[in-house]
Amino acid sequence: SAVSVPFTESFEYGYDCWTFIGDNQYVNTNSAQKVSGNLGLSITKATIVSPELDVTSLADYMITGWVRSNVGDVDLSIGVMTDAGDVSTFEPIGTYHIQDGWKWCQFRMYFNDLLSDDYADFRSARYVAIYLPQEDVSFFMDDIAIVPAPQCKQPVEAKIDAVTSNSATLSWTSKSDETSWNVVARIGERVMVDTIVTSNPATITGLQHSTTYDFTLKAICSDVAESDVTEVGRATTECG
């Protein structure tokens, strides 16, 4: 039977409620790869499908969780399915990029795109699915949650497009109708740049040459509403 939402999964008691699709797949709990509790999930070469969710539509919901892989520069494709046993019914909503291997990252994906005409055939989908590359890449997951989406949604698919000796250009995909964003650049724990931008992509200037920065951003939806923080990534400026 369908499970109620909000729905959370820590994999402390296994993964029997989930469906895994893929040839030569490997799925197991792992006591060494976890964010909290005693167990996380190890997966290779599989599409991961949630239990059936007791919703009319997933358009007002989001999925969040923690993931790491044994290599960097790989993508997860996150979407919905109408039939948990048929991977051909998988419809991607977006991708999450894992930049660095062996680093836990919090992923997040909103499903409000289901309201558009392009997704009309999937608007009533009741399964969330995560498609993993069908390669020899090991993924680890923990603390997955499918919950109502906030009004001010976190930017997704954020990346660093270009770097010079004193600047970095960032871009992202907005999931709300905001027109300004707060961008922060850090060296370690020190905040070096904290600025409001009104364009996407945005070029952040005034950086030091030959220096490694970690960039984050968040949406500003109103005077009283801001999104959660999105990790954009790490980049080193060119020599001066």
Instruction: Summarize pLDDT for 8-25 with one digit per residue, the tens.
Output: 999 999 999 999 999 899
User: What confidence score (pLDDT) does residue 136 get?
Assistant: 86
d(CA 143, CA 35): 7
d(CA 97, CA 15): 24
Whether the pLDDT of residue 134 is over 80: the answer is no
pLDDT band, very low/low/confident/very high, at 85 (cuts 50, 70, 90): very high
pLDDT band, very low/low/confident/very high, at 240 (cuts 50, 70, 90): confident
d(CA 97, CA 70): 14
d(CA 132, CA 22): 10
Percentage above 70 pLDDT, the chain: 100
Give the residue-averaged pLDDT of 66-79: 95
User: What confidence score (pLDDT) does residue 150 get?
Assistant: 96
Lowest mean pLDDT among 52-56, 96-100, 194-198: 96-100
Give the residue-averaged pLDDT of 144-166: 96
- Site of tokens 């991977």: 87
Structure tokens at 63: 């999925």
d(CA 122, CA 171): 28
Percentage above 90 pLDDT, the chain: 94
Q: Hey, how many other C-beta atoms are within 10 angstroms of the C-beta on 82?
A: 15
Whether the pLDDT of residue 1 is over 90: the answer is no
Give the residue-averaged pLDDT of 193-219: 98
Whether the pLDDT of residue 31 is over 90: the answer is yes
Which tens digits make up the pLDDT trace of 176-188?
A: 999 999 999 999 9
Largest CA distance in the chain: 62
* C-alpha neighbours within 13 Å on the C-beta side of residue 11: 25
Structure tokens at 104: 């836990």
Q: How far, in Å, are 66, 172, 199, 209 from residue 179 at the CA level?
A: 28, 12, 7, 30
- In this prediction the pTM is 0.85
Q: Hey, how many other C-beta atoms are within 10 angstroms of the C-beta on 5?
A: 19
Structure tokens at 32: 């060494």
pLDDT band, very low/low/confident/very high, at 160 (cuts 50, 70, 90): very high
User: What confidence score (pLDDT) does residue 99 get?
Assistant: 85
- Site of tokens 């996380």: 40
Whether the pLDDT of residue 32 is over 80: the answer is yes
User: What confidence score (pLDDT) does residue 225 get?
Assistant: 96
